[in-house]
Each structure stands twice: as structure tokens, then as C-alpha cells.
A = this chain, B = another copy of it.
């Protein structure tokens, strides 16, 4: 099946978005390369539909090294029954599939960081072509859009769903409500410093109810973090009226991330030794971590301090850090 896009997209979906029932298919994208002149990428996609009703569009694997989304969405695609829903659920569990297969944040084909090249281009690189198809082919079909992120191999977060401060306050309220409905331990109001290139921005520009997440990280998933994602996707379907019932809710704490007072970067290369754990309270100027020089023993560490008051909600994950790496993310607590 080909969507009627103009200009045409090189991506052709092997599913029918208008058919009732459940389909397991692929987004097919030609990819000529040295080891297969007429090769292609097949991105898994599942469409579940039962008559008229709202459409939810769920993405995992926007970055290829984040796993709560794919775990929850492969499961949802396998287990969700058409008869249990009203409307439509479109599931793309591993959006940047080449990156996902390579267990990398970005595409091994063209280095593309999927969440920095939206809205994409139909005649660009492989990653831009995928983004373009999402922008013009999938987003217009949806009412509610969820993009499940985690920290990936190099960042770690307390688990949260988030929505952005938006110019359209009605849309903002919809998004904030949906983020809360997701039901993660934390919910975050975000002001994006540089929103250019994000899937978020493309979805929001179309007026969609959009939710993003950061669910732990390190390039792995635990039973606990995968459960947050599994509950979250069903909670959101209930919130949207696609599944019956009300979202199962644990207690959610609201935080805010503004530009100032949020991020602290490493001033040096070295071995990072954290003084605080994720979720710890901290006040501006207090030590978060020390950077230990390792070229010889006996050298003095450099201290990184908190850029604001609040909770330590994000940190650098690997044991070594380089100058300029983000060491601390502090979210401010509501009073």
C-alpha cells in the first residue's frame, strides 16, 4: 500500500491503515549499498483497528539504545486484541530500526540522530527519509502521539513522562494531562532549549496530544522500568478512550525543567565519582560529582556542583566523562 504523498516518499508501508483487525507489517525503504545494490530496510509496524474512534500512535526506538519503549511496544503489538479497543493503535516499536539493530543511539548508516532531523526530507539520507514519512505519513493519522525515550547507553534518569510548555495553552493542557495519565513515578513540564529537529515539535505543530518520556537508561531495562512503560502505554490508551477503564496510577511527582539551573557540564576529562544518586534532593552549589584525573595517582579531583535547587533527575552514565559532557540534570520541585 502506498500513501498518497506529494512529493512521494520512498517509504512504502506494507500495512493498510484503514483495515479492521490486527496487521503485523513493515515500513519498506529502499537502501542501495555496497553489499546489496537493491537492498531495503524493513521497519516493523503494527496496526490494530476496531471501527471508528481515536488513533494512538506509539513510537519506541527513536534512539536505538533505549529499551523500555521497544519492550513495551513489541508486547503491546503481540497482545493487544482488536476486540478490546475502539479506534486505532499504530505501533512502531523501533523507529530508527538500523540504529536499534546496531544497539546505537544514532543510525549506523548515515549517523542520523532521529530526534534532531525532523521534519526530515524525502530525498535526504536514510534517517531523514524515515522522519519525513513519520511527519507526512503517520503523524496526520493520529490524535495522541507517544514517543518513549530512556537515557540510552550514556545517560540515566529517574523515570518520568513529560510534556512541553506550548504557545497553545489548550493543547498544553491536553499534553500535560496525557503525561500525567501515563503514570510514571515522575512527570515533568519541559521548556525545550532547542526544539528544532525533534519528533516532539513536528507532532505538536500539528496540534496533536504529545507525550514523551525518559525512563531510566544505561542501555538496558529492568523489570521495574519495563513495567512502567508497559503500564504507561495501556494507561494512555485508557486516557484516550481507546481501551476501556481508567489509568492505573501510582503517585506521580511533578517537576519542572527550564533552561537555567538545570544542566551542569563536566569541566574536565576523567573518571566520574557521583556524590548523589538519582532522585536525591540537592541545592544549587552543592557537590554532585567529582571528576578524578587518572593519568597518575595523587592528582586532585575537580568538583561539579548543582546548577539549581531540586532533585537530581538525570546523570551521565558511563564511568568515564569528557569535557563538556552533561554530568547533572536538576529538576525543580513544585512547591
Contact of A323 among B91, B295, B297, B319 (CB under 8 A): B295
Q: Is the CB of B323 within 8 A of A44?
A: no
Interface string of A111-125 (1 = CB under 8 A from B): 001001000000100
Contact of A38 among B22, B220, B325 (CB under 8 A): B325
In angstroms, Cα B219 to Cα A156, docked, is 12
* Contact partners of A41 in chain B: CB under 8 A: 324
In the complex formed, the residue of B with least CB distance to A29 is B324
Q: Is the CB of A103 within 8 A of B323?
A: no
In angstroms, Cα B325 to Cα A33, docked, is 10
A221-B91 CB under 8 A given contacts A78-B297, A155-B37, A296-B26:
no
In angstroms, Cα B97 to Cα A297, docked, is 13
A151-B37 CB under 8 A given contacts A67-B319, A220-B318:
yes
In angstroms, Cα B69 to Cα A292, docked, is 13
In the complex formed, the residue of B with least CB distance to A26 is B296
* Contact partners of A153 in chain B: CB under 8 A: 34-35, 37
**A28, A31, A70, A104: most-surrounded residue (chain B CB, <10 A):** A70
Q: Is the CB of B105 within 8 A of A33?
A: yes
Interface string of A283-317 (1 = CB under 8 A from B): 00000000010111111100000000000000011
**Oligomer copy total:** 6
User: What is the minimal beta-carbon distance from A269 to any residue of chain B, in angstroms?
Assistant: 8
A95: interface (CB < 8 Å): no
User: What is the minimal beta-carbon distance from A305 to any residue of chain B, in angstroms?
Assistant: 16
User: What is the minimal beta-carbon distance from A40 to any residue of chain B, in angstroms?
Assistant: 3
Q: Is the CB of B318 within 8 A of A39?
A: no
User: What is the minimal beta-carbon distance from A268 to any residue of chain B, in angstroms?
Assistant: 7
* Contact partners of A42 in chain B: CB under 8 A: 295-296, 323-324
Interface residues on chain A, number (Cβ under 8 Å): 88
* Contact partners of A100 in chain B: CB under 8 A: 294
Considering the complex, which residues of chain A in the window 1-54 have a beta carbon less than 8 Å from any beta carbon of chain B?
Answer: 10, 22, 24-26, 28, 30-42, 44-46
* Contact partners of A75 in chain B: CB under 8 A: 273, 292
A-B contact pairs, 16 of them (CB 8 A): A24-B298, A31-B324, A34-B106, A36-B322, A38-B325, A40-B265, A40-B325, A42-B296, A44-B297, A74-B297, A78-B299, A91-B297, A100-B294, A218-B317, A223-B277, A268-B295
Residues of A within 8 A of B (CB): 10, 22, 24-26, 28, 30-42, 44-46, 63, 65-67, 70-71, 74-75, 77-78, 91, 93-94, 100-101, 103-106, 113, 116, 123, 151-156, 194, 196, 218-224, 226, 263, 265, 268-269, 271, 273-277, 292, 294-300, 316-320, 322-326
